[in-house]
Amino acid sequence: MAKEFTEEDDALLTQLGVEVEAKKAVTRTPREERIIAGFEEIQRFVEEHDRPPQHGEERDIFERLYAVRLDRIRKLEECRTLVKPLDHQGLLAAAVASDTPNVDELDDDELLRELGIEDETASITELRHVRSVAEKKAAEEIANREKCEDFESFKPLFETVQAELDQGVRITRQIRKDAGFLKTDITKGQFFILGGQVAYVADVGEPIKAPNGEFDARLRVIYSNGTESNLLLRSLQRALYKDQTSRSVSEPKAGPLFSGEAEDDDLASGTVYVLRSKSDHPTVNENRDLLHKIGVTGGSVEKRIANASKDPTFLLADVEVVATYKLFNINRTKFERLFHRVFAHARMEIDITDRFGSPVVPREWFLVPLFVIDEVIEKFKDGTIGEYVYDPESASLKEAS
């Protein structure tokens, strides 16, 4: 650690003819810090997906927002200069997309909004609660919803489904028109996610002939917010098509979570990785065999850890991979959050300093033996993880009381 000189030291060095250069603290405006933070979010996306974010209606809403933000940063000389030292992925060298607005026509407030760094707002990832145009149109397709008078009889179903989704016993799949989602795929007892609500098909009426000659049916659909609607089957199908966030909910234990069990039509979701740090931090030295970082990535683990020595998330040190597990048909972000929740009481608090001189407390390092991590993976696989809790004192899983 560098020693700071006192005034007496400085005077002595001056007498010896040695110039003492005062350290210049790097200070940034809040706006500059937000621009850097926004650029680092884009970098994390690139590390996870092995490509820059792209425009297009078929893309995830957050990817499209990252793409707009990256175009703005590329266009503005101020932003380019600010983040250029951080651009180890060469993101600034690519051409600006032709379908983005002219930043010269935007005032400061509009520019900040486009960059996703608007003052007094939450992180860009909080936008998931904002209803999109597609969601509003989907809602218009559905018959007027009314209060479900007997919702108490359906409430346990919604609670069970939510718990099974949290535990990985059920999974959700995106509904895509081009994948052949048909009216016949909507049956009694099914669950969907529509307009941010879980929808349960409680009843399917007798087949009726629609004006276009096709057969249809009247449905009773119950929603998790305590409302219901009686709508035609084709109306529900059309609403599910138009809502880009709509999902179908699988039956319990439909589809594997981990490698070795994949079927031909399973979609790879990512990889769980367990790392051990090579840092010489005193806390790491004392707990090296017990301290593990647990994360999930959609790309290769090798690329995810390539710049570990420069990333505070990895304790600014190289790491070694001690275990990996492949995920299928599951939302990796939610899965990672649930995985971390299991070991919440074993989280290690380590204070380090980032490249701006600011203190950082990484949140993905846990004092957990590797064999316990393997046990938790098995509990996720058989759907019983909700029945157990991790006990830090005994370093073991115990049945939840």
pLDDT score at 233 = 86
pLDDT score at 319 = 92
pLDDT score at 277 = 92
pLDDT score at 259 = 47
pLDDT score at 139 = 46
Asked if residues 390 and 368 have their Cβ atoms less than 8 Å apart, the reply is yes
Angle at 112 between CA 106 and CA 113, to 5 degrees: 90
What proportion of the chain, given as a percentage, has pLDDT over 90?
11
Tens-digit pLDDT profile for residues 93-135:
876 554 454 544 444 454 445 444 444 343 434 443 444 444 4
Structure-block tokens of residue 65: 């927002």
Q: What is the mean pLDDT of residues 273-286?
A: 90
Between CA 286 and CA 274 the distance in angstroms is: 19
pLDDT score at 247 = 85
Record the pTM. 0.39
| Beta-carbon contacts of residue 77 (< 8 Å; ≥ 6 apart) | none
pLDDT score at 124 = 38
Asked if residues 4 and 13 have their Cβ atoms less than 8 Å apart, the reply is no
pLDDT score at 2 = 42
pLDDT(192) > 60: yes
pLDDT score at 44 = 87
pLDDT score at 367 = 92
pLDDT(222) > 90: yes
Tokens 């049916």 label which residue? Answer: 217
pLDDT score at 12 = 53
Asked if residues 316 and 324 have their Cβ atoms less than 8 Å apart, the reply is no
**Could you tell me the pLDDT band of residue 20, with boundaries at 50, 70 and 90?**
very low
Structure-block tokens of residue 278: 């090579």
Tens-digit pLDDT profile for residues 304-323:
899 888 888 888 899 999 88
pLDDT score at 368 = 92
Q: Give residue limits of the domains in the chain.
A: 30-129, 133-249, 268-399
Q: Is 316 left (phi over 0), alpha (psi -120 to 50) or beta?
A: left
Of 382 and 115, the structure prediction assigns the larger pLDDT to 382
Structure-block tokens of residue 28: 């940034």
pLDDT(83) > 60: yes
Asked if residues 143 and 229 have their Cβ atoms less than 8 Å apart, the reply is yes
Mean pLDDT highest for which of 100-109, 142-151, 276-285? 276-285
Q: What is the mean pLDDT of residues 354-365?
A: 78
pLDDT(343) > 60: yes
**Pick from 386, 401, 340: nearest CA to 164:** 386
pLDDT score at 199 = 92
pLDDT score at 275 = 93
Q: What is the mean pLDDT of residues 332-354?
A: 83
Between CA 242 and CA 137 the distance in angstroms is: 7
pLDDT(178) > 80: no
**Pick from 186, 192, 200, 195: nearest CA to 155:** 200
Alpha-carbon distances, residue 30 vs 82, 120, 210, 313 (angstroms):
13, 12, 59, 22
pLDDT(207) > 80: yes
Tokens 């009694």 label which residue? Answer: 188
* Per-residue three-class SS string for the chain: CCCCCCHHHHHHHHHCCCCCCCCCCCCCCHHHHHHHHHHHHHHHHHHHHCCCCCCCCCCCHHHHHHHHHHHHHHHCHHHHHHHHHHCCCCHHHCCCCCCCCCHHHCCHHHHHHHHCCCCCCCCHHHHHHCCCHHHHHHHHHCCCCEECCCHHHHHHHHHHHHHHHHHCCCCEEECCHHHCCCHHHCCCCCEEEECCEEEEEEEECCCEECCCCCEECEEEEEECCCEEEEEEHHHHHHHHHHCCCCEEECCCCCCCCECCCCCCCCCEEEEEEEEEECCCCHHHHHCCCCEEEEEEECCCHHHHCCCHHHCHHHCCCCEEEEEEEEEECCCHHHHHHHHHHHCHHHECCCCEECCCCCEECCCCEEECCHHHHHHHHHHHHHCCHHHEEEECCCCEEEECC
pLDDT(156) > 50: yes
Of 29 and 5, the structure prediction assigns the larger pLDDT to 29
Q: What is the mean pLDDT of residues 267-282?
A: 84
What proportion of the chain, given as a percentage, has pLDDT over 70?
71
Q: What is the mean pLDDT of residues 369-385?
A: 85
Amino acid found at 217: A
**Pick from 79, 86, 88: nearest CA to 116:** 79
Q: What is the mean pLDDT of residues 264-270?
A: 57
Mean pLDDT highest for which of 152-161, 265-274, 351-360? 152-161
**Could you tell me the pLDDT band of residue 200, with boundaries at 50, 70 and 90?**
very high
pLDDT score at 248 = 84
pLDDT(183) > 70: no
Range with lowest mean pLDDT among 11-15, 88-92, 195-199: 11-15
Characterize 70-94 residue by residue with b for buried, 16 or more Cβ atoms within 10 angstroms of its Cβ, and e for exposed: bbbbbebeebeebbeeeeeeebbee
Phi, psi of 146 (to 5 degrees): -125, 165
Please give the distance of CA 261 from its chain centroid, rounded to a whole number. 24
**Could you tell me the pLDDT band of residue 51, with boundaries at 50, 70 and 90?**
confident
